[in-house]
Amino acid sequence: MKRYRPPIMILGAIIAWCLLTVSAGTLFASTTQPLEDSFSFDRFSNKTPTPPPQTPPPIDTFCDIPVSCDIYVYDESAGPSAAIDGATITVDNLCGSETWTTNSSGWASVLFINYNFTLDLVIQAPMYYPFDFTASSSTCPAEIPLIPILTQTPTPPGLRTGDVNHDGTLTAEDAQLAFLIVLGILPFDWVADCNADDEVTSGDAQLIFIAALTAGSCHDPLP
């Protein structure tokens, strides 16, 4: 004789089996998801970090306070009243390189963007030797003489003897005087052109000294 099973028990068993099946499917699906979906921090690991705010650089006050220096340029041979117009004054410093030009009165107001300056200037003008000058708070204003480069004229023949002092003999003094001509301290003299190349250089001074030692001679020997 078969046992009788109430319908409610069969229905409960069916419901339990369905719940078990759904739970098992959900668990399987969760284990097969990509790893990047399982861990939330991996989703943001490749993002570029936000840079920290930039602090503005400090203001450089070294080059922000102008100081002027008035410089007067004149012809040394003509005297302090002979102003040189158009002479250039160049200065290089930590704040940059600048050039000024003297006016018709010979003056230039050189502006230094530096409140505590000691600077080397180069002063130049056509037909004058350049002049180096150190400007500072104790040397401004300044009056600068430029030595003119004398225009050379053709030399008469037979005068390039090296006897610069014209005493009839060659000595070390003649070589020294020739060197002073090279520096522009003495006026040009064709006698000092010992090698006859139409100019007086330090090489002429050396040749005159050698001639004074009787180890050589200038282009035009002394009689």
With 80 as the cut, is the pLDDT of residue 21 above it?
Answer: no
Mean pLDDT of the chain: 75
The pLDDT of residue 183 is 87
What CA–CA distance (Å, rounded) separates 200 from 191? 9
pLDDT confidence band for 91 (50 / 70 / 90):
confident
What's the pTM value of the predicted model, to 2 decimals?
0.42
70: three-class secondary structure by DSSP: strand
User: What is the rounded CA–CA span in Å between residue 38 and residue 115?
Assistant: 67
Q: Which pLDDT belongs to residue 41?
A: 46
Cα 138 to chain centroid distance, Å, stands at: 25
Total number of residues shown for the chain: 223
Residue 120 confidence (pLDDT): 79
* 93 pLDDT above the threshold of 60: yes
Query: 135: which strand partners?
Result: 119
Residue 185: pLDDT over 60: yes
- Indicate the SS3 state at residue 198: coil
**The predicted structure's pLDDT at residue 173:** 92
pLDDT reported for residue 204:
92
Amino acid 39: pLDDT: 45
- The single-letter DSSP state of residue 12 is H
Domain with CATH 1.10.1330.10 in the chain: 150-223
**Is the domain covering 150-223 a CATH 3.40.50.1980 domain?**
no
Kindly provide the residue ranges of all beta strands, DSSP E only, lying in the chain, ordered along the sequence.
Answer: 67-75, 88-93, 96-101, 107-112, 118-124, 131-136, 142-146
What confidence tier does 28 reach under pLDDT thresholds 50, 70, 90? Answer: very low
- pLDDT, residue 36, reads 47
Lowest mean pLDDT across 19-28, 76-85, 146-155: 19-28
Q: Is the pLDDT of residue 48 over 70?
A: no
Which residues, at least 6 apart from 153, have a Cβ–Cβ distance to it below 8 Å? none
- pLDDT value for 35: 47
Ranges for all domains in the chain classified under CATH 2.60.40.1120:
67-146
The reported pLDDT for the residue numbered 143 is 93
Alpha-carbon span 111 to 99, nearest angstrom: 10
How far lies 135's CA from each of 91, 114, 142, 162, in Å?
10, 12, 8, 39
Is the C-alpha dihedral spanning 114, 115, 118, 121 positive or negative? Answer: positive
Q: What percent of the chain has pLDDT over 90?
A: 19
Task: Tell which wins on pLDDT, 95 or 80.
Answer: 80
> What is the spatial distance between Cα 174 and Cα 192, in angstroms, rounded to a whole number?
8
Q: Six-digit token pair at 114?
A: 């530096």
Question: Is the separation of the CB atoms in 69 and 141 below 8 Å?
Answer: yes
What CATH superfamily is the domain 67-146? Carboxypeptidase-like, regulatory domain (2.60.40.1120)
